[in-house]
Chains A and B, each alone.
Chain A
Amino acid sequence: MIWFVAKRLLAAVPTLLAVLTVVFIIVRIVPGDPALVILGDQATAEAAAALRTRLGLDQPMWVQYWTFVSNALTGNFGASLVTGRPILEEVGAVLPHTIDLTLASMVLGVVVGVPVGIWAALHRNGAIDVAARLLSLLGLSFPVFVSGIYLLLLFGLYWRLFPVIGNADLSDFGDRLHKVVLPAVALGLTMAAYITRVTRSAMLHSLGEDYIRTARAKGVPWRRVVWVHGLRNASLPVVTVVGLYVGILIGNSVLTEIVFNRPGLGKIIVGALNQRDYAMLQGLMVIYCFLIVVVNLVTDLLYGVMDPRVKQA
């Protein structure tokens, strides 16, 4: 098990390097100048050039690349070009918010999506199934900046249950929980819609299998057939999808973060991109990549626990 984890983490290093290289190149291909962002539009071209020199942006590409990679490998991601704050500090400050939102959305997505998906599968083509499919389509096609505003209007302004400004005090667990509710609903329902679809089809597939007939021939009550025999098998594809989705959630929650005024990784990435903060972008990509690797690893480990056919050696 430990070997498995170590091997997987080691195997992620080339991936990480490849991503680093691609990010390094892409951020420099995109037009735009961080010096202009930092100095503002009244700066002279000379001042901007001087700043680029100071930031090391005038060095040959390969020198910049080498500096970046060698620093990154020793865990030194440097500081943001724009704010001057160390990148790890910056990320560390928002990571708990991102994790809160990701976990809460995931829990919501699974807690809602799985039962609804099962229900839809059991009542295939019935009214419930059609309703669930329609709702999940709606959930998938409703952008957060619309659903989020409605949630805020309703629960924030009208019922006054939740604040509009959702940045929580990290030291106060109750506050964190309180403030993650609305964004998690906005994000989690989209995920639930997705999970519903996956669960439904996985469940339909699983319930059509021979071992379900075997279980029924044993006289296993239908409820147990569904929840034990059917779900355990159907959960394998669901876990895969949840794992993939969590990866997406971590970086793609930017709209949710903006609408609900939460700090988070997605928001930082977009900000860094707008400001051409190369250092920040590079550092963020490494961290993001690492998170994805970890999430995938956890998914695989879970898979191993849930599916005895998967060997982990």
Chain B
Amino acid sequence: MKLRAGVLAAAFAMVAPAAMAQQGTLRVGMAAQDMGRLDPHFAVSTIDRVPMPWVFNGLVRFPPGSIDAAAIEPDLAERWETSADGRTWTFHLRRGVRFHGNYGELTADDVVFSLRKAANAQTSAFSADLRAIETVEAVDPYTVRIVLKENVPNLLGILTNYAGGFIVSRRAVEERGDGFNRAPIGTGPFALERVTPNQSAEFVANPAYFRGAPQIARISYRFIPSDASRDLAFQNRELDLNYGRSDQTWVNRVRQQQGVTVDVFEPAELAIINVNVTQPPFNDIRVRQALAMAVNRAEMVRWRGQDTSREGQSLVPRGYLGFTADNGLLPHDLNRARALLAEAGYPNGLTVRVVHTQLPEMLAAMQVIQQQLRRAGITLDLQVVEHATFHQQIRQNLSPLVYYSAARFPIADIYLTQFYHSRSIVGTPTAVTNFSHCGMADAEIDAARVSTDRAEQLRLWAAAQRKLVENVCGIPLIETLLVFARRDNVDYGYQLRGSLSLGPQITEASRLR
């Protein structure tokens, strides 16, 4: 009897930790048909971004559940130093971090390789983010030195577990070549097991994860493009996490279900109508101002939902470093809008042809705006085209008004540069997404980027926003937050307030109850 108990106890002792450490499969439903490229430096779509922090780490990271740039903390780097001029940064790596599979220990070599890869337009979609980096070198196997060409607002931000900051295994990339896109190797809590095209990506816990073995054994990341059937599957307990819609009725409906929590989190996507200031009739500031006053943001928020959206206040989303609401944004005023139109020579209103996408969510928003503008006498003649066509045509200046909704790294610089710096004007070789052709804030944006004085930097960004808003380069509409529903058996292990990967991070502390 005693012997038996002893054997049992021994057996438990062996089995229990493993059993407790690894329980169950987390099933995540995602609104997409398939993943694209799994190389983190090419992960641009939401579906590709969400699982990246499960698999990869950066030198530093946002604490899980947060997108607060001030809270950035060590990840693969234990600590770092910066030179007096802010141009030279030295990172000391954590020791004993191992890549998935048999790809060995992470060394400075991998970090150097990763950052150079991320900075190269041939091997990364995020090369522009790392433009300021002059050199990256390994000082020794556990030390990396980065030298900057010019100051940047937040180098740590670039090196977080986001976009170009993800660290990959050099050996894996070199061995696998293009195959790395399908079989990536990182250091994160989960390793990619396989992708079944059109079905799912399967991840398994990385027991050697440097923060400890994850408590969740597997993640099944399911691609379910139909909202209706994804919701049914979630309701039917075939999913633990469900990509939600930023739509009040959806949120309300799902909240009514038993044992379900809806998380609404940052970053918000700011929707802006970008106005091409070089094309008539919008080359007349009065017409642009009329447009700005015809828009009713409060009504849009009521339409989209109080829980999932809020009014846009500037041409930079709120909460981003450098954001200011004090920028002279024109209030909703139909009478003044009509008066301005009449003054500009359109007493009977005007009609504009606008190219727009057929994506249902974006189309519905545009139709609300169409109604609002009509009250001021502005008629939008919507040319509804397929989404990829939309993206191409707005980059060919085929639409004087461009509805664009985006979230970016939460620093004013990125948003301002991509949307309102003359370098980014569409149709030029350096084009990104400047549809307004505005360049009047170039000086402020450029100066702020390299400023080492935070107060001065904030002042410059505020000035840039004021200029752009006053010139009505764009009209901020609403900010839409991200929504995920989870069954109550899912415990993220942190409070989900924000996630730059646009979906919940699953960490070593996340568990299934």
A156, B128: Cβ atoms closer than 8 Å: no
B182, A157: Cβ atoms closer than 8 Å: no
Can you name 8 extra interface pairs (CB under 8 A) apart from A45-B427, A164-B232, A263-B199? Answer: A31-B385, A32-B391, A43-B125, A45-B431, A46-B121, A83-B34, A271-B34, A275-B388
Interface contact tally, CB-CB below 8 A: 163
List, in ascending order, chain B residues with CB within 8 A of A268's CB: 197-198
Stretch at the interface among A34-42, A59-67, A113-121, A234-242: A34-42
B391, A274: Cβ atoms closer than 8 Å: no
- Per-position 1/0 for B225-249, Cβ under 8 A of A: 1101110110110110000000000
Does B126 sit within 8 A of A, measured CB to CB? Answer: yes
Stretch at the interface among B6-14, B35-43, B148-156: B35-43
Does B430 sit within 8 A of A, measured CB to CB? Answer: yes
Picked from A45, A94, A264, the residue with its CB within 8 Å of the CB of B429 is A45
**Chain A 141-171 residues near chain B, CB threshold 8 A:** 145, 148-149, 152-153, 156-157, 160, 163-165, 167
- Per-position 1/0 for B310-342, Cβ under 8 A of A: 000000000000000000000000000000000
**Chain B 79-96 residues near chain A, CB threshold 8 A:** none
> Interface on A for B, CB 8 Å cutoff?
30-33, 36-47, 49-50, 54, 79, 82-85, 90, 93-94, 145, 148-149, 152-153, 156-157, 160, 163-165, 167, 258-261, 263-264, 267-268, 270-271, 274-276
Picked from B33, B34, B238, B433, the residue with its CB within 8 Å of the CB of A164 is B238
Closest beta carbon of chain B to A186's beta carbon, Å:
12
List, in ascending order, chain A residues with CB within 8 A of B389's CB: 30-32
B391, A41: Cβ atoms closer than 8 Å: yes
List, in ascending order, chain A residues with CB within 8 A of B431's CB: 44-45
A259, B430: Cβ atoms closer than 8 Å: no
A93, B125: Cβ atoms closer than 8 Å: no
A261, B229: Cβ atoms closer than 8 Å: yes
B232, A149: Cβ atoms closer than 8 Å: yes
> Interface on B for A, CB 8 Å cutoff?
33-37, 42, 44-45, 121-122, 125-128, 178-179, 181-182, 196-200, 222, 224-226, 228-230, 232-233, 235-236, 238-239, 385-389, 391-393, 395, 406, 408, 418, 424, 426-433
B236, A46: Cβ atoms closer than 8 Å: no
B37, A83: Cβ atoms closer than 8 Å: yes
A271, B196: Cβ atoms closer than 8 Å: no
Picked from A43, A49, A149, the residue with its CB within 8 Å of the CB of B128 is A43
Measured CB to CB, the nearest residue on chain A to B38 is A83
How far, in whole Å, are A171 and B319 apart by their CA atoms in the complex? 50
B121, A47: Cβ atoms closer than 8 Å: yes
List, in ascending order, chain B residues with CB within 8 A of A40's CB: 44-45, 125
How far, in whole Å, are A41 and B434 apart by their CA atoms in the complex? 11
A84, B387: Cβ atoms closer than 8 Å: no
Measured CB to CB, the nearest residue on chain A to B414 is A42
B226, A163: Cβ atoms closer than 8 Å: no
